[in-house]
Amino acid sequence: MNGFDIVMVIAVILFARLGMRLVSRYIKMKQENKEDKKDKL
């Protein structure tokens, strides 16, 4: 593995972690919005 391969592996891992964080935050926001709508009814 040359330096470019190592940099690419690190970049992929960081983007995967960021994507997981965004997806989990999006799901949490959707669940909170459903609870807010139930409270208003």
- Sequential DSSP letters for the chain: --HHHHHHHHHHHHHHHHHHHHHHHHHHHHHHHHHHHHHH-
Report yes or no on whether pTM surpasses 0.75.
Answer: no
Other Cβ atoms within 10 Å of 35 Cβ, number = 10
Q: For position 40, what pLDDT does the model report?
A: 63
Report how far residue 5's alpha carbon sits from residue 24's, in angstroms, rounded to the nearest whole number: 29
Sequence ranges of the domains in the chain = 1-41
Report how far residue 11's alpha carbon sits from residue 8's, in angstroms, rounded to the nearest whole number: 5
Q: pLDDT tens digits for 1-41?
A: 799 999 999 999 999 999 999 999 999 999 888 877 776 66
